[in-house]
């Protein structure tokens, strides 16, 4: 039973069912970009910022490796060092377990550690949301 629950939670977090591009919004709900089902990250002017690849690697706009998200909810830098992780409750923490913020899976609201809304993203893997809003992969 525990294994079934773990698989269910990972499926929710990994969020593989993305039929169309999902919008990214800032804390004021202004459109700032989107993530396509194939993992392409674009800004509001449709410029490619980077890519979430099927193997979990993250590439910048020049297709250079900048990080990785793993199925066990870890976020790694380009050298494979853990720089953060996501809990099943939607907390985003840095490599030293300090709270960076939270992601509400039902509403898509992304808040920082102080509870301030920093963005909205729904229908996207929580790992992708965390990597986009809390780590400098696409800047």
Digit-coded pLDDT (tens) for 72-93: 999 999 999 999 999 999 999 9
- Kindly state the DSSP code that residue 33 receives in the 8-state scheme: E
Burial of 118 (0-12, 13-18, 19+ CB in 10 A): middle
117: its two tokens: 């809304």
Number of domains the chain contains: 1
Q: Which residues of the chain, if any, have pLDDT below 50? A: 1-19
State residue 20's pLDDT score. 63
State residue 11's pLDDT score. 43
What is the domain extent for residue 77? 2-138
Q: For the residues of 99-111, what is the DSSP string, one character each?
A: EEEEE-TTT-EEE
Residue 83 · residue 93 · CB < 8 Å: no
State residue 139's pLDDT score. 82
Is-above-0.85 flag for pTM?
no
Enclosing H/E stretch for 5: helix 2-14
């Amino acid at each position: 039973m525990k294994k079934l629950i773990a698989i269910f939670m990972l499926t929710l977090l990994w969020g593989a069912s993305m039929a169309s591009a999902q919008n990214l919004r800032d804390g004021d709900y202004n459109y700032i970009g989107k993530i396509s089902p194939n993992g392409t990250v674009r800004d509001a002017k449709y410029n490619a910022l980077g890519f979430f690849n099927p193997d979990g690697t993250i590439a910048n706009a020049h297709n250079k490796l900048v990080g990785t998200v793993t199925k066990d909810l870890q976020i790694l830098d380009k050298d494979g060092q853990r720089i953060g992780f996501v809990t099943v409750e939607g907390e985003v923490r840095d490599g030293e377990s300090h709270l960076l913020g939270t992601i509400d899976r039902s509403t898509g609201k992304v808040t920082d550690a102080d509870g301030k809304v920093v963005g909205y993203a729904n229908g996207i893997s929580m790992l992708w949301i965390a990597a986009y809003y809390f780590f400098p992969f696409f800047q």
